[in-house]
Amino acid sequence: MTRVKTVRALGATLLLLAVTAVRAQTATPAEKAIEYRQAVFKVVAGNFGPLAQSAQGKVELPPAAARQYAERLSEISQFARDAFPDISREGKTRAKPEIWSERAEFDKLLKDLTDATKSLAGVTANAAAKPEEFKAAVGAVGNACKGCHDRFREK
């Protein structure tokens, strides 16, 4: 990913975080950490949703748009590990306590997510990639999300 694209992805995340800045001024450190986590995952969902819909045949996504969503997703997914500091164990969150007591397993699942998003970005950057490769790469990201949600997120 180019430096410009990385800066754009970071800028999008920072913009989303800035929207919550007024609220964060009165929030506790735990609330701030949870708000950060929720913001990161909103950006993840916002970029993964169109890709998943495209892979399911629900929308037609131009290749340039798919590549942009996938590149953003790959960059933003790397923020996920920092979104679970110890201080955010308690509060208004669906994160299970097992995240912190089983941190090695949780970190492995986060690595699976970053690996899957990186692979998806590679597929969308390849003009010769076949539709089934795109579907498989999107499915791998979805499975990475599901694996973590099933194990470490309250319903």
Confidence of residue 5 (pLDDT cuts 50, 70, 90): low
Residue-range definition of the domain harbouring residue 98: 3-152
Q: Is the pLDDT of residue 3 over 90?
A: no
Confidence of residue 75 (pLDDT cuts 50, 70, 90): very high
Q: Is the pLDDT of residue 119 over 80?
A: yes
Average pLDDT over every residue of 1-25: 65
What CATH number is given to the structural domain containing 118?
Answer: 1.20.120.10
Residue 7 confidence (pLDDT): 65
Give the number of domains in the chain: 1
Which residues have CB under 8 Å from 3's CB, separation 6+? none
Residue 2 confidence (pLDDT): 62
Reported pTM: 0.83
Residue 25 confidence (pLDDT): 73
Q: Is the pLDDT of residue 21 over 90?
A: no
Q: Which three-class secondary structure string do you get for the chain?
A: CCHHHHHHHHHHHHHHHHHCHHHHCCCCHHHHHHHHHHHHHHHHHHHHHHHHHHHCCCCCCCHHHHHHHHHHHHHHHCCCHHHCCHHHCCCCCCECCHHHHCHHHHHHHHHHHHHHHHHHHHHHHCCCCCHHHHHHHHHHHHHHHHHHHHHHECC
Q: pLDDT, tens digit, for every residue of 32-73?
A: 999 999 999 999 999 999 999 999 999 999 999 999 999 999
The per-residue pLDDT of the chain, averaged, comes to: 91
